[in-house]
Structure 1
Amino acid sequence: MNQATPLVTIIIPCYNQAQYLEETVLSALDSDYSPLEVIIINDGSTDESPEIAQRLAENHDKVSYISQKNQGVGIARNTGIKASSGKYILPLDGDDLISKDYIKKAVEVLEKDENVKVVYCQGVKFDENGEKFWKLKPFSRNALARDNMIFVSGIYRRADWERIGGYAEDYNLGRADWEFWINMLKDGGDVVQLPFIGFYYRLTGNTNSLRKRTGGDEAKRKRIAYLNKKYPDFFERELNGPLRFQRTWSKPYNTLLKFFGKL
């Protein structure tokens, strides 16, 4: 690639992921895309993550390392992006992996069409027992209003992160990637899914613990209330009213309420 090829920054927030961090960073560095920079943000880890991150930064000139007190993944991503120089951003959690060709293929799409806001790919979920294909729903804004279908490691322009004010720093209710994609895409922009597996989502004890904390009915109600308060116009346009607890039924329920003058 020539010198005009844009820089891509891979943002890796890390909280107690020492067991997997080096594999994740080496996966990023193994990309066939260049130029590339990798920024690790230690979010107050209490394991060996800081030492591993420091060693990786010392041994690889494309890697830099930032440490902060524990403030959550959204703030950690914002910290890393503020320190970045890339035209394009790829968030990558500290235990996940990407394929060699993912970034190159994504940047080709983004460079060709400014209307494309996000590029992602097909993915698999994996653990020590093997891999399972991750069947993601097709993207549409109407579908996004009811559920998320873009994993956190979609590639996007840093300028769009700036435009929407970054990741929400007051949001700790789980599924932060869903809130972020709504914010970025609520008013338009195309989304492209590449037709190959380029993302590997690791299932770990930490992942399951997070799901337990944010997967119950109370957390779901708080999450829906937050989204409705922040994006009322988006839900009105896509669902004819607010997002409901039974998300799939939001639009027909809102339509029925409006028919009877109760909304």
Structure 2
Amino acid sequence: MNTNLVSVIVPCYNQAEYLDEALTSVLEQTYTHWECIIINDGSVDNTKDLAAKWVENDNRFIYIEQQNKGLSEARNSGIRVTKGFYILPLDADDKVAPNYIALGVQEFLDDKSLKVVYCQAEFFGAKTGLWNLPEYTFNSLLQSNKIFCTALFKRDDWEKIGGYDSNMKYGLEDWEFWINLLKRGGNVKKLEMVGFYYRVKEGSMIKSMTPEQVSYSNNYVLQKHSDVYIKTYNKLLEANKNLEALLRSRKHALNLLIKRVFGFHVFKQ
């Protein structure tokens, strides 16, 4: 089991005050064959000095820095220098349970069809309690994200799909990544244990997104993956006798589909 290196990816942008907690949760993993890439994404706080202490004390911690490029590119930069077989993204203000990696790797070893392994999660900080995420199905994923960022996946799969999309610059990058990763098939496993702790604080990225930014992100996902949306909801297309003319326009077809499924238009008429 310990022959498969796991690379934990920790982007940090002005979150030095939380970084120790995140890295401590990595250090305490019962699965010891890991490396942890800390990516300083243009921070102006003391992220560099704090990270240096971790790198000095344990050579499994690796530090890189870059000009601010956003979360997607920070993760990609970290993954590019990894040597691991599996990848686990971890935001600098969150943390994981000590047995999360060990249990996740075992699931991959037991089931070769798996592409993603995640777990139950809890909030901490300004909000506490269980994070009641809806159960994953690929069809439900197309409607909204069902998997948080801190899930295990294979590095080879990241490479095949081109990594995280830097066009998702306002948020929801995880949602697009999972759609891209899973739309060609593969199974997802949710561990029946709390292995991830998501910090809730004022001004989180998702809360700070404006309606225009949310609309941009939704539109981008729907246009990029319009093929899989049309394929998945093909029965809706076939059931509508008046849709043949609209099928000549990809935008009009998608608008009709998304209005039926989500209840709103996503493209301007």
**TM-score, scaled to structure 2:** 0.86
Cα RMSD, aligned residues only: 2.1
Alignment of 1:104-183 (within 5 A): 104-127=102-125, 131-183=128-180
Correspondence for 1:242: 254
Which residue identity is paired with 2:155? R
2:127–2:200: 8 Å Cα contact kept in structure 1? no
Other structure's SS at 1:192 match? strand
Correspondence for 1:213: 208
Other structure's SS at 1:133 match? strand
Question: Cα offset for 1:71?
Answer: 0.4
Identity in percent: 40
2:192 paired residue among 192, 195, 212? 195
Equivalent-residue separation in structure 2 for 1:247 and 1:196 (angstroms): 34
Question: Cα offset for 1:151?
Answer: 0.2
Correspondence for 1:87: 85
**1:230 lines up with 2:224 in the alignment:** yes
Other structure's SS at 1:56 match? helix
For structure 1, which runs of at least 5 residues remain unmatched after alignment?
A: 255-263
Which residue identity is paired with 1:41? I
Equivalent-residue separation in structure 1 for 2:208 and 2:255 (angstroms): 21
| Pair 19,251 (structure 1): closer, same or farther in 2 beyond 3 Å | closer
Question: Cα offset for 1:130?
Answer: 5.9
2:258–2:264: 8 Å Cα contact kept in structure 1? no
For structure 2, which runs of at least 5 residues remain unmatched after alignment?
A: 235-252
Question: Cα offset for 1:28?
Answer: 0.7
Equivalent-residue separation in structure 1 for 2:177 and 2:26 (angstroms): 22
Other structure's SS at 1:205 match? coil
**TM-score, scaled to structure 1:** 0.88
Other structure's SS at 2:195 match? strand
Equivalent-residue separation in structure 2 for 1:203 and 1:222 (angstroms): 24
